[in-house]
Chains A and B, each alone.
Chain A
């Protein structure tokens, strides 16, 4: 029973890291970014390519490069795709639908580039990036990657929560989510904040993708696809806009999957996970921690 604990916590950390960026865009800014999974995968395959160009580059150097690189890529998507769609959209619903489709298209483009860059082959970050070591905790094997995942999830979740709740830009961002026009009239730089939010979301995807590639040991250009579906479920069931709720539900889902997966196998693991999601949708359709739009963070 205890032996599965590190695996469940590591899986929860993966879900948390992936979900943070998505929650920021969707829960706080009302932008459902379907390219988030592709940006996450882009971090892994670009880091892989970078390690080929610069052999021996360590993790501590890759982390800021990928955070900044994927952050910029995400900001570029906002400037070139999402912002023009919003500017030309006929109403909020129309903008949401167009943004969804644009997200799918951007994701497909990024994934295709990734598949070409990796020659459609699975890849792995080299050992030089991080030497994986295993140690014993209460009889259970724990790797340094699992510890790093947990630390990154806790630090980034707290950091993001602090940013949205307590910084001037974070509060302004929530104001934009409530009413963009009113926020603009109040002098809030809406466009800059939106670009900033997408950049931050991308940076989170960059860090998450890198850690996930290390954790899995191998990946491919499609590695973000599976997580995207689960992250949607986590955001909805936590209550859209609740960052803390997303973290809690990431842990709930991961623990259910890890323990059912261990005792009953991967097939029943998915049955249990989706049963939990359906029950939650029936019992708490607004999520575990429902938030009014002005309270989101």
Chain B
């Protein structure tokens, strides 16, 4: 806690020092045309690289698409990617440099504890800052220049559990969560109330640690309650380890969860992860309930040769959010303040993104409908029978 405060204080001081330095406004491209400069700080190495890389891939894809279509009112978008190494100090240093430099807008994904000290620097420097994932409290609360493009998992839990009850016969559930992760711990604390509201019994709440070395013990604890379903909120390989261990010991119920089951988290469990469901803002499918998501799936797959995931969809929407803001500005030169004003306007109306149509905002936090994805043994697919999203439009 003391360390976090110290980092925040340092971040604030760095932000104040740089506040007057950078004004953005883009830079001149060869030939005199102005560019709009995005600095993307991402975890491309370290433990969160598995999530950071697809965010950047999605953002780069959309930058290319916009530039190929002629840019925005003659202006091309540039994207400068900086690796934070999943390290708080490196992330703060990169944010400080971006705020001091010519960046018109800064983006980051996906860890909340890294975004947390970056947000006040962006706010003090008046540079628009758009984060992906990063569910920790206090990020968008830093001020009116900070936006979050990925819907917080907590919005999806109630409809997800209701679906598990209605369609998979879940009457009791155990909760497995990473107790050394703020986001999963916060959700684990709220789930018993949601379960009680839906008439579901919570048999046990079992904490595990990131990089744990023993999953047999928590598995035994889960099995002692004989639940119909298990909420999985471990981190990284812990999810696959826990699922595999439970299956080996005879558990044949359903697993369900949120973002921690996305990306490649279920790949090691392979067939053992059958009957695993997760609520997600996006899954690659031509059956998504919103057309802009289907279009994104097709275009991304055609351009890159691989299907997008929820993280690359988030990266796409970060850039598309800026694109829509620039469109609304028209030919007006866009400094940071003008761009932030335009972002606020777009946020108030919503825009068509990969993760929803419209992507709406509440207090600068995106709210998108979400869907239920299921594991088919090799990849995530859209769970059957979804003609609408998990949340009705405008729900919070």
Contacts and interface: CB of A to CB of B under 8 A. Distances in A.
Contact of B237 (A11, A218, A266): A218
A218 B241 contact: yes
Contacts of A212: 213
Contacts of B270: 124, 126-127
Given A216-B237, A222-B211, A7 B220 contact: yes
Given A120-B53, A265-B206, A266-B218, A223 B268 contact: no
A51 B250 CA distance: 27
Given A115-B45, A120-B49, A216-B237, A134 B249 contact: yes
A124 B269 contact: yes
A124 B244 contact: yes
Interface string B201-219: 0000011110111111110
B220 A14 contact: no
**Which interface residue of A3, A7, A216 has the most chain B CB atoms within 10 A?**
A216
Contacts of A270: 209
Contacts of B244: 124, 217-218
A115 B52 CA distance: 14
Contact of B220 (A3, A222, A225): A3
Nearest to A121: B264
Interface residues of A, number: 43
A32 to B, nearest CB: 21
Contact of A266 (B50, B53, B209, B220): B209
A223 B240 contact: no
A11 B213 contact: yes
A216 B215 contact: yes
Contacts of B50: 120-122
Interface string A52-69: 000000000000000000
A269 B215 CA distance: 13
Contact of A4 (B215, B220, B265): B220
Given A120-B49, A122-B268, A220-B236, A261 B214 contact: yes
A122 B236 contact: yes
B345 interface: no
Contacts of A198: none
A252 interface: no
Nearest to B45: A115
B4 interface: no
A181 to B, nearest CB: 40
Contacts of A10: 214, 216
A262 interface: yes
Contact of B47 (A4, A127, A222): A222
A274 interface: no
Interface in B202-255: 206-209, 211-218, 220-221, 236-241, 243-245, 248-250
Nearest to A143: B248
B211 A223 contact: yes
Contacts of A123: 237, 267-268
A122 B235 CA distance: 10
A225 B216 contact: no
Nearest to B245: A217
B240 A122 contact: yes
B236 A115 contact: no
Interface in A109-146: 112, 115, 119-124, 126-127, 132, 134, 141, 143, 146
Nearest to B223: A141
Nearest to A140: B220
Contact of A122 (B209, B214, B215, B267): B267
B179 interface: yes
Contact of B211 (A11, A127, A134, A226): A226
A229 to B, nearest CB: 11
B79 to A, nearest CB: 21
Contact of A11 (B179, B214, B248): B214
Interface of A: 3-4, 6-7, 10-11, 14, 112, 115, 119-124, 126-127, 132, 134, 141, 143, 146, 212, 216-220, 222-223, 225-227, 230, 257-258, 261-262, 265-267, 269-270
13 contacts: A7-B214, A11-B213, A11-B217, A115-B49, A120-B53, A121-B267, A124-B240, A127-B270, A141-B250, A143-B248, A216-B213, A217-B269, A258-B214
Given A222-B211, A261-B218, 4 more contacts: A3-B220, A10-B214, A120-B45, A226-B211
